[in-house]
């Protein structure tokens, strides 16, 4: 029996999944959340655990289920969970435990440091086109603009209200409570500026030197790379590294900025849905960002890496690699690009790789966004 861990960004459905499990199980259960304005401490975990133990003792051999939400907000949570879990294991108490966390980076850090061999991670990422269509009847264009936040879906008829909800309830909460409150960040203003820059330049390769020039509160490249890791860990923004085949990827190479949910691009901008759709360049960046976000979300937790490739003025939007297999993916989005398509040069250099075109005369965009990323690397 292992501790079940549901990790993923805010509003990806972790709590909904947990409550569905609670409704389905035939054993006593207890749910508690640490997602409060004031940080809890270790005594809170112990108190909730004792309630779970009481339910398990009353149930007998069937045991009980304990669900702790946003557990990564408790300082030293992983060491405490390890001690309590090991106590129950030694005593033979059947208490099943499910942990939920909206900061996958912090969750993984605690799990690897203290709970090795005791947990199983289930990654719950941003909603896909298929999920938003099934739940809300959305079409492709709606998904590209409004992204994959289910809680914001009922508000799209009032774009101002939708935008405020995304910025206040999701973006600001993630930045202030999941990153700044939980991790040492020496320059909070720089992290916020970097996130906004990433939304403005999503789908584009930007050197660290150029980032420093764009940001008012400039930091060194090491700081910017670290802040990109924090934003990636919170499910917001990633800096893709350049694909170099079997050679070690260069950490210092210019990253390709990419949002993990296109709502992060459109909620910051001043374009309405109609204005965005008419802006060929912006809509093209939405398409490319949606493709990249879909690959990263669907491949999270797998052995497949997502990179980009650029050489001598030619570029491949995304490269999927796993072991010795690779797939080069270029997106026909309709926007003007500085670099030429690099599919043919990439194939000449990596003969065994697959070459895929998304959009235009290639794989229909809608079909691609409904297909798990694993399908393209085999």
User: Could you say which residues of the chain have pLDDT below 70?
Assistant: 36-39, 103-110, 112, 216-219, 246-252, 334-340
For residues 264 and 314, state if they share a domain.
yes
Tokens of 296: 């990263």
Q: At 108, which CATH number?
A: 3.40.50.300
Output the DSSP codes for 130-166.
Answer: HHHHHHH---HHHHHHHTT-GGGGGGTTSHHHHHHHI
Q: How far apart are CA 306 and CA 282, in angstroms?
A: 23
Percent of the chain with pLDDT over 70: 91
Distances in Å between the alpha carbon of 1 and those of 17, 86, 324? 20, 12, 34
For residues 72 and 183, state if they share a domain.
no
Tokens of 103: 């900061």
- Taking the mean position of all CA atoms in its chain, how far away is CA 68? 21
Structural domain span for residue 37: 3-123
Q: What are phi and psi for residue 89, nearest 5 degrees?
A: -65, -45
For residues 47 and 148, state if they share a domain.
no
Total structural domains within the chain: 2
For residues 244 and 327, state if they share a domain.
yes
pLDDT for 46-89, tens place per residue?
999 999 999 999 998 889 999 999 888 888 888 999 999 999 99
The helix or strand, by DSSP H or E, that contains position 326, with its residue range, turns out to be strand 325-331
pLDDT for 247-282, tens place per residue?
545 555 789 999 999 999 999 878 999 999 999 999
Last residue of a domain, one of 123, 140, 174: 123
For residues 107 and 172, state if they share a domain.
no
């Amino acid at each position: 029996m292992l501790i079940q861990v549901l990790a993923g960004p805010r509003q990806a459905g972790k709590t909904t999944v947990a409550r569905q499990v609670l409704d389905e199980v035939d054993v006593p259960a207890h749910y508690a959340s640490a997602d409060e304005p004031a940080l809890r401490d270790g005594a809170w975990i112990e108190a909730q655990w004792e309630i779970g133990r009481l339910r398990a003792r009353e149930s007998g051999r069937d045991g009980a289920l304990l669900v702790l939400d946003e557990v990564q907000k408790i300082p030293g949570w992983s060491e405490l969970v390890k001690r309590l879990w090991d106590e129950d294991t030694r005593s033979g108490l059947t208490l099943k435990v499910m942990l939920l966390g909206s900061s996958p980076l912090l969750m993984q850090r605690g799990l690897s440091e203290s709970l090795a061999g005791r947990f199983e991670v289930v990654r719950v990422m941003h909603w896909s086109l298929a999920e938003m269509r099934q739940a809300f009847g959305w079409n492709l264009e709606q998904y590209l603009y409004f992204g994959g936040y289910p809680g914001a879906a009922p508000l799209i008829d009032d774009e101002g209200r939708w935008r405020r909800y995304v910025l206040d309830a999701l973006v600001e909460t993630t930045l202030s409570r999941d990153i700044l409150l939980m991790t040492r960040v020496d320059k909070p203003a720089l992290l916020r500026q970097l996130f906004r820059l990433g939304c403005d330049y999503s789908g584009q390769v930007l050197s660290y030197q150029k980032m420093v020039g764009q940001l008012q509160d400039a930091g060194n490249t090491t700081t910017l790379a670290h802040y990109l890791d924090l934003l990636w860990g919170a499910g917001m923004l990633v800096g893709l590294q350049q694909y170099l085949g079997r050679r070690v990827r260069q950490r210092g190479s210019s990253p390709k900025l990419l949002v993990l949910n296109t709502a992060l691009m459109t909620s910051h901008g001043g374009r309405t849905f109609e204005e965005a759709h008419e802006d060929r360049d912006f809509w093209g960046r939405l398409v490319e960002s949606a493709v990249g976000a879909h690959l990263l979300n669907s491949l999270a937790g797998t052995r497949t890496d997502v990179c980009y490739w650029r050489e001598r003025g030619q570029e491949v939007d995304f490269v999927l690699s796993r072991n010795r297999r690779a797939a080069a993916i270029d997106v026909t989005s309709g926007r003007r690009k500085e670099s030429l398509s690099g599919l043919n040069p990439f194939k000449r250099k990596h003969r065994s790789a697959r070459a895929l075109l998304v959009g235009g005369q290639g794989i229909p965009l809608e079909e691609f966004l409904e297909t798990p990323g694993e399908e393209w690397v085999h």
